[in-house]
Amino acid sequence: MNKANLSAEELVGRWEERREIKNLMGRYAVSFLLKKEASMFADFWAAREDVCMGLNDGWYVGREAIANWFAAIDRATALKAELLKADLPDKLEGQDLKDLYGIGDFDVKPLGTPVIELADDLKTAKGIWYSQGSKADVTESGPVSYWTFGVFAVDFVREDEQWKIWHLQYLENIKTLCGQSWAEPEKPFPELEAFAVLKDLKLPEPTEKVTLMEYYSPKKPMARFPLPPVPYDTFVNTFSYGYEKEV
């Protein structure tokens, strides 16, 4: 689309849509920080059945798979608060677990380096963001923090006059304990009895198990990230950030 041929009204309309997409992704990323996993799927994702989410280990295809992933995080968050409360009675005794929901976790997924393309038909849009993040998590070693480097690559679709997430990949090539080098083998913190139950805590497996991204190692090829979107007229004429079954 040659923007020189668009009217001022068309241009400002497309700019407003672009801003909406940035706001949507900003709110999505900040929701991890605010521990809103219990409502994120309903708040940000499209209602259609062909939604999908790609993480390093594979694809969560369909509404149920993604909803289950968020629900598992929600349950884990509640459990971690319970364990911290039991571990630190002098600090947390008497406090309601509902009020403590989210303690121990601090998940910052900042979004920078955006490239966004709106389809000419304005029915879909695509964006990629780089996220140099940090995350505190409660593990079998108690609270520990990580540096993370990765990208969000997202297809958006318009539903009821609002932009929604349709396909999303969040792929990390570096996740390393803060204070350690990603170029060296991880030196885990000692396990703690109070958090032993977390050792077996796993999130649901992807519905399509395939390695989309491996963590950095000096003994592996350079990571290949999804490429930024390119201008397109309508979705069938561009590539997808979603799951495509191999044939």
Partner 1 sequence: MKTHLSLSQRIHNAVGSQQAENIHARHSYLHGKSFAKEEWGQIWSRSDDCSWAHAFGRWRGFENVWYGSVTCYDAACFSRFTQIYEIYPQVGGMDPRPLSEVSCHTLVTDIIEVADDGKTARAYFLTPGLIYSTLNGNQKKRCAYLWERYGADFVFEDGQWLFLHEQVCPDIFGNLDDGNWAHQKYDMLKNPPPPPPSGAMPPKKDQRLQDPGPLHKDWTPIQPVQDTVPWPVPYVTMDDDNTYTKRR
Partner 2 sequence: MNTKVFSDDEQIRRVWDMEEVKDLMARRAYMYMQDMRRQEIEMLWVQKPENRETAVFGSNWGFYLGLDNISAWYVGEHGNLRQKQLDEISKNDPAVENKPENLGFGSAIAAPLSTALVEIAGDGKTAQGLWYSIGQRTDPNGDGTASAYWVCGKIGADFMKEDGQWKIWRVVEAPDIIVTPGDAVANQSVFWEEGANLMENLFGTPTVSVTAHDPTFNWSDDFPHAPKAYYTYDPKNGCCPEGVLNDWRPY
* Least Å from the CB of residue 90 to partner 1: 9
Burial of 92 (0-12, 13-18, 19+ CB in 10 A): middle
Q: Decide which of partner 2, partner 1, none touches 219; Cβ closer than 5 to 8 Å per partner kind.
A: partner 2
Q: Which residues bind partner 1 (CB under 8 A)?
A: 8-9, 12-13, 15-17, 19, 22-23, 26-27, 29-30, 33-35, 84, 88, 91-92, 99-104, 106, 108, 110-112, 132-134, 136-138, 141-145, 147, 177-180, 189
Burial of 206 (0-12, 13-18, 19+ CB in 10 A): buried
Q: Which residues bind partner 2 (CB under 8 A)?
A: 2-4, 8, 11-12, 15, 18, 110, 112-116, 128, 130, 132, 147, 149, 173-174, 176, 179-184, 216-225, 227-228
Please say which residue, 174 or 201, places its beta carbon nearer to partner 2.
Answer: 174
* Least Å from the CB of residue 15 to partner 2: 6
* Least Å from the CB of residue 223 to partner 2: 6
Q: Decide which of partner 2, partner 1, none touches 239; Cβ closer than 5 to 8 Å per partner kind.
A: none
Please say which residue, 48 or 220, places its beta carbon nearer to partner 2.
Answer: 220
Question: CA 241, CA 167: separation in Å to the nearest integer?
Answer: 6
Tokens of residue 160, six digits: 């009821």
* Least Å from the CB of residue 101 to partner 2: 31
